Structure formats: structure tokens, C-alpha cells
């Protein structure tokens, strides 16, 4: 398997160009799907290869529970730099598994707790909470719900409220939380996938914005709804947490995008543009990653099979 | 998971805390004036222990959904929030206790830096003139 076992660990880098270019050149729906799928495959392959390295690394440790034959020289010869790589892989895989578990567990806990908090309300799909602090959330669950406070609604005109509800409804109908959970787990599995997570967090918002614009029939109204709610929420104790400090934050970029023309609905960009090349680059990287990890897994399986005394 | 939900329905004693709180609050809201825990318990129906009702009332008090006033050796309770108000108080607690709720709940908008705010105001101002009354 040789170097193939290491490739999937670094191939996520091939998705960086498209993660960067998608915002301006792809329809947000296409960007979300492409980046999430690429991130999922790359993360699975990278974790699989980490697991293979762990097997080889663990077999070298004295007192390990694996069959003795697995530490034979021919097994170790299958992995270049087996001593170092194997030993580093063990804590790395432990860290990946722990981080993914924490992420998934938190995700479920927040959803469960929020659902329980609204438990006493009658079964309407919109929960308007009497709270002066402005916030609005899409809450997927057994019963999909939009949670919005009177503080948020008070600051918006009726058209802008419709835009807000259409935006949250789009999150729920499009099951956006699944894309978000996928890329968050992927980013935990391989830190090189973090730019994809950031890009998907943004593209799901843009996707919901575009759906809302279609639903209310005015991009400008959605732009104003997004902009005004951000200004209302500023200084609110409930929506703090600056996640990234960049030149222009996500909200002004969303508003600017809505004030511009609608994105082209084309699913795949033309090949000979920067974003087209980037998309093909990411696809090629993902394919190579899948083949490399499959190759490494099958090779190691046969080597270990041969080394295991029957 | 479905099995667990089935259990909930079969055994009313295992109702979620949230549901009980809502029930107690609803009973208290139906009271003509300040009520005792015993009154609330009777009103809900017999399957709850007196101490459970007091525990729930105390929890509602901590959340700010009910007020209490000492009368003799016990308390008189009054509802100060309705069901939606209680849900709002509970939701606030969830949001305040979760550091990374933004990672789970898709919020309509994220935070603004001071630079974002200026940029946003400029964008909105530029977009404003033609469309006012919709």
C-alpha cells in the first residue's frame, strides 16, 4: 500500500480552492451539496487510513492484544516509516473519535433540550416566545419548529417577517442541519477540512436566503430582513459568539449577495473557469482519496490475513 | 427510541419535567388567586405526590415563571408567566448554557463586528430609497 495510506490524510487540501471560490461562483444549493459530499468522503477515507495506521502501530507495541503475526516485518514493511507513523496515528485516531463523539453528542443535546423547552406549547410550527431579546432559530426535530421572539418580530415589517419565516422554513425543509452536522464531523475528523465547514455554514445560509427570496418574491425584502435582524440582535446577550474575524462578516456578504443579481441555477460550473477547475480538482482529489484508502485497506487486509496463523 | 416514547404515553408518571411544569403552571393560571401547593395538586389530579408539586413549583419559581408569598408555614403561589412565557424562559436557559448553540441551531443571523455593522448600514441605506411600503 506504501504511500497510498498517507494520501487520504492530505488530499482534503485539493478541496480548498473550490471551498474558496464556491461562495461567488456556485449556486448556494450546488455549493452546499458539492462541499458536503466532498467533505464526507474525504473525512471517511482519512479516518479509515488513520485506522489502518493504528493497526500497524498498535501491533508494534509490547503487550498489544492483536495477533503476534501482525507485528511481522512484512506487515511493517507495508507502511513507510511505520514506527513513527504508527505511533502518531494512535493518539490522532483517539482524538478524532473523541472530537466527533463530543460534536455529535452536543448536537443531539442542544436539539433535545431546545425541544423540551418548547414542550408545553401547542403544536404549531412556529413558536413565538415573549422575550425582548431578539433571536430566531430553525429547530429540527420530531416536530420541525421555527422559534422566534417578540423582540425579533417587533423590529421587522410584515414583509420582512415573511422573509424571516421563509428563510427558517427553507432550513427545515432542506434539512440543512444534516449538511451542517456532516461538515462539522468532517472538520473534526481531519483539520484540513475546516475551510469546507466554514464554506458550508455560509452556503446553507445563502441557500435559505435564496429560497426565501423566491418565496416572498423580493430579494431586497430578504436583504433588509437579514440586515435589520442582525442590527437588532447586535448587543443581544443571546446571540454573541463571533466565530470568525474576517474582512467582511457573513451577514454583510449575504446582504450584498441578495442586493445583487440572483445566482445562476446551474449545478455544475463550466469546466474552463477557475471555479470549474477547482470543482474538478476537488472531485479528482476525492476520487483519488477513495481509491487510495480502498487500496490501502485491501492491501493491509491481505497482508494481515497472510500473517495471521490459522 | 420509539419504545421509550411509547412508555411515556403508557405511564403518565414518567411524563417529562417540561410537561409537568406546563401542567402546574396551567393549573395555577386557572386559580382565582394565589393558591397553595395542595390546591394545585388537587387541580391536576391525584397521581402526583405533594412533594413533587412543591418541587415543580420551586423550579418554576427559580425560572421566574411563578411568584410566591409566605403564608404561615407554607407558600401561596401565583403564576406570572403563561405557557409561551415559560417556554421563552426555558429557551433562554438552553441558549445561555450552550456555548456552541450556534453550531447546532441555525440562527437567522450571526454576530456583527463593528466593521460589519458600518458596512451593513451602508448596504441597507443604499438599498432603501426605491422600496418603502411593502
| Residue A192: per-residue pLDDT | 96
Mean pLDDT, range A114-132, rounded to an integer:
84
> Nearest CA to CA, how far is B112 from chain A (Å)?
7
> Does residue B9 lie within any of the structural domains?
yes
How many domains are there within chain A?
1
Least confident of A66-70, A218-222, B31-35, B56-60: A66-70
Least confident of A38-42, A72-76, A167-171, A186-190: A72-76
Work out how many CB contacts closer than 8 A connect A with B. 186
Mean pLDDT, range A161-177, rounded to an integer:
94
Mean pLDDT, range B66-93, rounded to an integer:
89
For B11, other C-beta atoms within 10 Å of its C-beta total: 10
Contact of A126 with chain B, judged by CB distance below 8 Å, is answered with no
Residues 6 or more apart whose Cβ sits within 8 Å of residue A122: B83
> Does residue B133 lie within any of the structural domains?
no
Who wins on pLDDT, A116 or A146? A146
Residue ranges of alpha helices (H) inside B79-131 are 83-97, 114-127
Contact call for B108 and A118, based on CB within 8 A: no
Contact of B105 with chain A, judged by CB distance below 8 Å, is answered with yes
Mean pLDDT, range A97-104, rounded to an integer:
95
Give the CA-trace dihedral at A238, A241, A244, A246, to 10 degrees.
Answer: 60
> Does residue B134 lie within any of the structural domains?
no
Q: Whose grid coordinates read 467533505?
A: A39
What CATH number is given to the structural domain containing B115? 1.10.10.10
The parent domain of residue A279 ranges over 2-307
The parent domain of residue B116 ranges over 1-128
Residues 6 or more apart whose Cβ sits within 8 Å of residue A72: A307
How many domains are there within chain B?
1
Q: B91, B102, B131: which to substitute to probe chain A, counting the most A Cβ within 10 Å? A: B91
Name the percent of chain A lying above pLDDT 90. Answer: 55
Q: What is the pLDDT of residues A198-253, one digit of tens each?
A: 999 999 999 999 999 999 999 999 999 999 998 888 755 444 333 333 457 889 99
Contact call for B120 and A237, based on CB within 8 A: no
Name the percent of chain B lying above pLDDT 90. Answer: 20
**Chain mean pLDDT for chain A:** 88
Contact call for B116 and A251, based on CB within 8 A: yes
| Residue B107: per-residue pLDDT | 74
Q: Is the ipTM of this complex over 0.90?
A: no
Interface of B with A in 29-68 (CB under 8 A): none
Amino acid at each position: 500500500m506504501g504511500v497510498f495510506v498517507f494520501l487520504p490524510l492530505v488530499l482534503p487540501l485539493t478541496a480548498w480552492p473550490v471551498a474558496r471560490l464556491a461562495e461567488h461562483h456556485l449556486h448556494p444549493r450546488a455549493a452546499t451539496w458539492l462541499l458536503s459530499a466532498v467533505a464526507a468522503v474525504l473525512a471517511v477515507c482519512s479516518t479509515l487510513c488513520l485506522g489502518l495506521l493504528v493497526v500497524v502501530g498498535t501491533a508494534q507495541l509490547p503487550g498489544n492484544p492483536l495477533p503476534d503475526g501482525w507485528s511481522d516485518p512484512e506487515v511493517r514493511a507495508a507502511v513507510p516509516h511505520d514506527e513513527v507513523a504508527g505511533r502518531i496515528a494512535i493518539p490522532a485516531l483517539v482524538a478524532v473519535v473523541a472530537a466527533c463523539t463530543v460534536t455529535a453528542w452536543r448536537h443531539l443535546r442542544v436539539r433535545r433540550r431546545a425541544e423540551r423547552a418548547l414542550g408545553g406549547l401547542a403544536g404549531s410550527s412556529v413558536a413565538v416566545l415573549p422575550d425582548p431579546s431578539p433571536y430566531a432559530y430553525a429547530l429540527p426535530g420530531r416536530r420541525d419548529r421555527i422559534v422566534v421572539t417578540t423582540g425579533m418580530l417587533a423590529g421587522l415589517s410584515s414583509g420582512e417577517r415573511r422573509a424571516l419565516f421563509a428563510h427558517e422554513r427553507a432550513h427545515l425543509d432542506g434539512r440543512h442541519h444534516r449538511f451542517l452536522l456532516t461538515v462539522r464531523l468532517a472538520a473534526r475528523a481531519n483539520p484540513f477540512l475546516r475551510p469546507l465547514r466554514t464554506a458550508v455554514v455560509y452556503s446553507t445560509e445563502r441557500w435559505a436566503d435564496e429560497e426565501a427570496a423566491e418565496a416572498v418574491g423580493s430579494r431586497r425584502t430578504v436583504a433588509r430582513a437579514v440586515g435589520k435582524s442582525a442590527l437588532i440582535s447586535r448587543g443581544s446577550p443571546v446571540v454573541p459568539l463571533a466565530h470568525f474575524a474576517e474582512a467582511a462578516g457573513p451577514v454583510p456578504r449575504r446582504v450584498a449577495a441578495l442586493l445583487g443579481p440572483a445566482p445562476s441555477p446551474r449545478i455544475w460550473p463550466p469546466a474552463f473557469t477557475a471555479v470549474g477547475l477547482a470543482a474538478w480538482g476537488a472531485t479528482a482529489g476525492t476520487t483519488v482519496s477513495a481509491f487510495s484508502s480502498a487500496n490501502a485497506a485491501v492491501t493491509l487486509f491481505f497482508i494481515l490475513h497472510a500473517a495471521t496463523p490459522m | 427510541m420509539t419504545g421509550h416514547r411509547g412508555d411515556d404515553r403508557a405511564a403518565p408518571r414518567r411524563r417529562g419535567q417540561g410537561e409537568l411544569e406546563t401542567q402546574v403552571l396551567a393549573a395555577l393560571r386557572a386559580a382565582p388567586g394565589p393558591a397553595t401547593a395542595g390546591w394545585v395538586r388537587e387541580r391536576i389530579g391525584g397521581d402526583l405526590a405533594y412533594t413533587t408539586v412543591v418541587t415543580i413549583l420551586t423550579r418554576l419559581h427559580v425560572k421566574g415563571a411563578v411568584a410566591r408569598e409566605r403564608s404561615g408555614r407554607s407558600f401561596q403561589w401565583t403564576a406570572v408567566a403563561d405557557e409561551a412565557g415559560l417556554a421563552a424562559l426555558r429557551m433562554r436557559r438552553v441558549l445561555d448554557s450552550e456555548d456552541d448553540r450556534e453550531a447546532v441551531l441555525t440562527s437567522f443571523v450571526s454576530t456583527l463586528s463593528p466593521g460589519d455593522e458600518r458596512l451593513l448600514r451602508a448596504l441597507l441605506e443604499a438599498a432603501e430609497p426605491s422600496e418603502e411600503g411593502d
